[in-house]
A and B are shown apart, each in its own frame.
With several copies, the nearest count.
Chain A
Amino acid sequence: MSDKPAVVCEGLSCTLPSGVQALRDVSFRLQAGGLTAIIGPSGCGKTTLLRIAAGLARATSGRIQFLRRDGSADPIRAGHLAVCFQDARLLPWRKVVDNVALPLELAGVGRRERVARAEAVIHAAGLDGAQSRLPAQLSGGMRMRVALARALVTDPTVLLLDEPCSSVDEFTRMQLDEEILRVWQDSGATTMLVTHSVSEAVFLADEIVIMRRARVHSIHRVALDRASRDRTSHAFSQEVELVMRSLAVAAGVVVP
């Protein structure tokens, strides 16, 4: 896992063409091989941050760097950075299995292998039986799961997930969380997870970046041992409560 880069943001600001300042002086670090969650009110700049990290948008000032353990810059090879966007973005003419296998196809993986790998993640995403449906024949939650499966099917060094589980029920979400965890642990990818679920963040992340109005509000290190992250435990609830309070402040809610 020593080959996964750290992602370092320093003083990132981003003013969009419309004049909206989506990020102001955002600094934080995704630990190499770590899993960092980003939470914050709707519209606070999470997606913009993820897009800059993915190289799809340019920061107005500040910089973002991918660094190896030894401090040298890591020019991530194309295809080694996987993104699950907030909208599913499926190719409407491709079956589920071919949508999921797309990144492998583009990376030149042979047909048999990529179908096998795609079917494995499709199964993990609870989409058995939908392999040969077209996106239009899926429910909204299923479409998002296909998009997540497509991001997880590769063996990325950097994994950026933008609310991958927002449109599924709580139990499916837990199941998907397990899958994200598995992929992260297997691949050791440096992972950034944008989410609205505090309990999801606490369950999955090493660190939680709480954003507020285009800025980093606070950064919370999850104090729980990975082994002891049981959602039903008291410690877990306490941790969730803690983050929730920070988030409440970020969201401008008066905390009782």
Chain B
Amino acid sequence: MKRLSEKMREIAAPLIAVGVIAVAWEVAVIATGVSPLLLPRPTAIGQTMWMNSEMLLSATVQTAIAALSGFAIATTLGIIGGSVIAAVPVLRRSIYPLATIVQMVPLVAVAPLFVIWLGFGLPTAIAASAVVAVFPVLAATIDGLRSVDHGLREIFALAGASTWTRWRKLDLPASIPAIMTGLRIAAGLSVIGAIVGEFVSGYGGAHAPLGIVVMTAMREARTDLVFGAVALSAIVGFVLFGVVSIVGWLLVNRWHASGQSEMEIRR
């Protein structure tokens, strides 16, 4: 429990860093006199966010729903797909390299297909989010599964465990640290995926999601609002990242090197 509370304290660290960066940024902007149209001061951004808090809140909620759903889909597909690909050598050789394509397609280029197949607004934003986030999970899962100690696999082979059983009881648990890396990367990507998805899909509900807010604010040169919206999308990403990190830590801290604190020579 003590260690969990320590983990909680870690949440404070980035907040302090944010504060430090914000102050430095404020000072730098004032000192260099860069136009607020290009780089607004954090205080100005804060003010704008405060004044538009209601609109931004609803936008954030919508984008968060898209990003979270996309992340969930990417996680599920990435882990399942990665496991299948890792288990079947011919797939690993043929499909795995091709899977890179899913993250390389410029979303705007395939937007028509997405929108036509999935409809406007949320579904397309979710799909865009999932498409952008799935490959890191897939790649990390595959590489994690392929790194499972052969010695441990032999234990399962001797017991006549099925591939499915071995996956549940050995491969997956042993790959969790690697998969967590993939999920950490996917956390941020799912947010940007949702935002780009919103660019191309418009919005169904009454209120605009963050992607639309960014677009319109840019058109109107309300750079402080652009940065405010970006900051909110970043917060969605942080929270996702934080949740992934904490879940990962809870799962592996008791047995994996990454969960143990650093040793130092004492004499």
Binding site for B on A (CB under 8 A): 54-58, 66, 75-79, 81-83, 85, 87, 89, 91-93, 102-103, 105-107, 134-136
B149, B154, B155, B174 — most chain A CB neighbours (10 Å): B155
Given known pairs A85-B151, A93-B173, A93-B254, the reply for A56 and B265 (CB within 8 Å) is yes
A135 to chain B, nearest CB (A): 8
In the complex, A102 Cα to B254 Cα: how many Å?
19
Contacts between chains A and B (CB distance < 8 A), count? 66
**In the complex, are the beta carbons of A89 and B155 less than 8 A apart?**
yes
B156 pairs with A106, CB closer than 8 A? yes
- Asked if A106 and B165 sit within 8 Å, CB to CB, the answer is yes
B57 sits at the interface (CB 8 A): no
- Does B157 make an interface contact (CB < 8 A)? yes
The answer to whether B154 and A56 touch across the interface, beta carbons within 8 angstroms, is yes
Scoring A76, A91, A134 by chain B CB atoms within 10 A of each residue's CB, the highest score goes to A91
Report A130 CB to chain B, min CB distance, Å: 15
Contact present for B265 and A102 (CB under 8 Å)? no
Chain B residues with a Cβ closer than 8 Å to the other chain, count: 24
Q: Which residue of B lies closest to A106 (CB)?
A: B159
* Residues of B bordering A, CB below 8 Å: 149, 151-152, 154-161, 165, 169-170, 173-174, 252, 254-256, 263, 265-267
Contact A79:B173 (CB < 8 A) given known A89-B155, A136-B255:
no
Closest to A104 in B: B159
**What 8 pairs across the A-B complex have the smallest Cβ distances?**
A78-B160, A55-B267, A92-B255, A106-B159, A93-B255, A55-B265, A106-B161, A89-B151
Complex Cα distance, B170 from A102, in Å, reads 11
Chain B: minimal CB distance from A178 (Å)? 25
In the bound complex, residues from chain A placing their C-beta under 8 Å from that of B256 are 92
* Known contacts A56-B154, A102-B155, then 15 further A-B pairs from the complex at CB < 8 Å, ordered by chain A residue: A56-B263, A56-B266, A58-B266, A78-B158, A79-B158, A79-B160, A87-B151, A89-B151, A89-B154, A103-B159, A106-B156, A106-B159, A106-B161, A106-B169, A107-B159
B152–A81 touching, CB < 8 Å: no
B267 touching A102, Cβ below 8 Å? no
Chain A residues near B252 (CB-CB < 8 A): 93
